[in-house]
Amino acid sequence: MTSELVDRIRDALRVVIDPELGHNIVDLGFVYDISVIGGAVRITMTATTPGCPATGFLQEGVTSCVAEVPGVDSVDVEMTFDPPWTPARIDPAVRAALGFAAVN
């Protein structure tokens, strides 16, 4: 059940779009961890940089969309910059669409 809920949460997070890059936070590699204990969900995520002006917007979007997933009772979003986000975390198809060179 927990792994199914994590999958549903990950799918729900795809509606949260980074306003600068124009793609969802899952494909951009912003979501580091999704943990569920009972109905309590903790999302560990990042943004492109510690000073990213969209951080609050992204946190609010994550909280809102995850709260709508059946089986979720509460949502805690932890922002971290350790490890720092890099374009290497982006899904390869999205990275190509954004024009990033292949990362070896």
Q: For position 29, what pLDDT does the model report?
A: 97
Q: For position 2, what pLDDT does the model report?
A: 83
Query: What is the length of the chain?
Result: 104
pLDDT in tens, the chain (104 residues): 689 999 999 999 999 999 989 999 999 999 999 999 999 999 999 999 988 899 999 999 999 999 999 999 999 999 999 999 999 999 999 998 888 765 54
Q: For position 104, what pLDDT does the model report?
A: 47
Which fold is adopted by the domain 2-93?
A: GMP Synthetase; Chain A, domain 3 (3.30.300)
Residue 79 backbone phi and psi in degrees, to 5: -90, 135
